[in-house]
Amino acid sequence: MKMLGNSSHGILPMQKRLLYRTCILPIAVYGFNLWFFKGAPIVKNINELKKIQHKADLWITGAFQTSSSDGIEAIAGLIPITLHMRKLNGRHHLRYGSIPSMHAINSLLDPQHAKNHPPYKTVTSKLTDKQRFNLKSPIKDVNEHLNGVRECFNPFFSLFSPGSRVVDHFPSRFSFHSPSSSSNEDLFHHLQNLDQAFRSSQTAPHNIAIIADRDIEKLQVATAVAHIWSDNSIV
């Protein structure tokens, strides 16, 4: 990473942060759910991840080696690695609530989460209280976490399939505005047209303006929505 820039030349700090978040961190935490669970010895792995993030903090900010880890971490815009791991772990647990009913992992979950899948002989619900208390496993954490989930997930719901979405039923009600190229001249004209389209959408009744990423025009799906405007105010 040092070849890409330092505090005096090279890529910008924002680009360094993006590079670390998208290329380095996902590789560093790959397979974390195999060792990051309640009762597991995680201190050594967490300390190694802290060292990696500390080096990234120094690279992003250009600070001195003796700088406070918490301080440069905040300046770099990175959350503490322990909080990041808890966030990933929570999302990992929620994914078990949306897996298909025929998935083999359902046989290891408690009956209320197994989606009528036949239980495996070592499922936690068949263990004694003492065995369940001494058990340290990611599946045990998943069962405990899913007990607090009240929403039902169906990954094959009909409205999620192509042809059943709102944009498929009412294509004339949607209009997409995206620049044709990244040249300065095209971007200038695009901003003018975008301002005009935004003003017209806010003056007409029952219209909304959605500010999203550029892929929405190509994929017809907004992967990142920033703002939704209606009647000159954010919804």
Residue 130 lies in a domain: yes
> Are both 196 and 120 inside the same structural domain?
no
User: 201 in a domain, yes or no?
Assistant: yes
Answer yes or no: do 6 and 88 share one domain: yes
Residue 88 falls within a domain, yes or no?
yes
pLDDT digits (tens, 9 = 90+) for 104-141: 888 888 877 777 888 887 777 777 878 877 888 888 88
Q: What is the pLDDT of residues 15-62, one digit of tens each?
A: 888 899 999 999 999 999 889 988 889 999 999 999 999 999 998 888
| Position 196 in a domain | yes
Claim to verify: residue 20 and residue 43 sit in the same structural domain: yes
Pick from 29, 139, 143, 146: nearest CA to 94: 146
Would residue 152 count as lying in a domain? no
Q: Of 30, 64, 92, which closes a domain?
A: 92
Is the pTM higher than 0.75?
no
Last residue of a domain, one of 34, 64, 92: 92
- Domains contained in the chain, number: 3
The pair of three-digit structure tokens given for residue 9, joined into one six-digit string: 């030349």
Q: At what angle do helices 138-146 and 81-95 cross, to 10 degrees?
A: 70
| CB-CB contact of 106 with 155 (8 Å) | no
